[in-house]
């Protein structure tokens, strides 16, 4: 499977650097929902001119992460319970398909090892109570899984929606029950993929995704939404 080549940040055009940095801050909740940022403020924060900051804001608006403001700035958009429900409906449809495709095509020892290592990292993180490390390993597992499908368009689509869910997942990380069943689900999916059982892998992962949606959407509804 092709590996993504990461271009060094210093070699990227200014607009791309601005986009990546603003996007990272939004997804990591450094720029929380409701934050208003003028072009001049963004440019100063990034150490760039207003033009790349403006271009970055337009891209972020196209992705639905911000809304553009009349005076050439942006406002970081919140994610509601309804937003999360829609996002997880997409993930629950596409990620199980990816698991089934991975089982059908058969994975290399390297790809199987990557999935197993991510689950092992999730187990280790829970044992030491490090929920941030658990979330990072969980994210790595899901991204490796969809890439293992061999369908680049599916992987790109899932990646976009996963990024949108990332903000809520991180903001509610310590409000949810310990994700022990999530680790068990992941191990079962890997076992089904290794055995070439496409329908089983798909069914297990669908149940996992639907359970995650029920938990997170229910949590947001009980809290009346989380402004992150």
Cβ atoms of residues 41 and 31 within 8 Å? no
pLDDT in tens, 52-105: 999 999 999 998 889 998 877 999 988 888 888 999 999 999 999 999 999 999
Q: Is 224 left (phi over 0), alpha (psi -120 to 50) or beta?
A: left
pLDDT at residue 118, rounded to an integer: 97
Neighbours of 28 (CB within 10 A): 11
User: In the chain, what are the domains?
Assistant: 9-76 (1.10.10.10), 81-223 (1.20.120.530)
**Hey, what are 144's tokens?**
């490796």
Angle between helices 131-148 and 81-105 (to 10 degrees): 50
Q: Please, what is the average pLDDT of the chain? A: 89
Cα distances (angstroms) measured from residue 188 to each of 68, 96, 184: 44, 13, 6
DSSP one-letter code for 10: G
**pLDDT band for position 33 (cuts 50, 70, 90):** confident
In the predicted model, is pLDDT for residue 140 greater than 90? Answer: yes
- The pLDDT score that the predictor gives to residue 228 is 52
Averaged pLDDT, 13-33: 91
What is the per-residue pLDDT for 11? Answer: 78
pLDDT for the residue numbered 8: 53
The model's pLDDT over 175-205, given as tens digits with 9 standing for 90+, comes to 888 888 999 999 999 999 999 999 999 999 9
More confident residue, 146 or 223: 146
Q: Look up residue 114 and give its two tokens.
A: 């990557």
Reported residue count of the chain is 228
H helices of 28-151, in order, are 39-46, 50-62, 81-105, 109-127, 131-148
């Amino acid at each position: 499977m092709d590996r993504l080549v990461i271009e060094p940040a210093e070699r990227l055009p200014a607009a791309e650097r601005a986009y990546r940095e603003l996007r990272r801050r939004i997804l990591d909740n450094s720029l929380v929902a409701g934050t208003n940022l003028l072009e001049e403020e963004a440019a100063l924060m990034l150490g760039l001119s207003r033009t790349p900051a403006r271009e970055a804001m337009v891209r972020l608006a196209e992705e639905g992460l911000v809304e553009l403001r009349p005076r050439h700035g942006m406002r970081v958009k919140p994610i509601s319970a309804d937003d999360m429900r829609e996002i997880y409906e997409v993930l629950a449809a596409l990620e199980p398909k990816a698991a089934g495709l991975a089982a059908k095509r058969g994975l290399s020892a390297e790809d199987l090892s990557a999935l197993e290592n991510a689950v092992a990292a999730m187990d280790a993180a829970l044992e030491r109570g490090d929920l941030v490390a658990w979330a990072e390993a969980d994210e790595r597992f899901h991204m490796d899984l969809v890439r293992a499908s061999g369908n680049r368009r599916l992987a790109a689509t899932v990646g976009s929606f996963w990024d949108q869910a990332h903000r809520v997942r991180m903001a509610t990380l310590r409000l949810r029950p310990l994700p022990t069943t999530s680790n068990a689900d992941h191990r079962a999916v890997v076992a089904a993929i290794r055995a070439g059982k496409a329908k089983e892998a798909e069914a297990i992962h669908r149940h996992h995704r639907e359970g995650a949606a029920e938990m997170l959407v229910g949590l947001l509804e009980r809290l009346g939404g989380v402004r992150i």
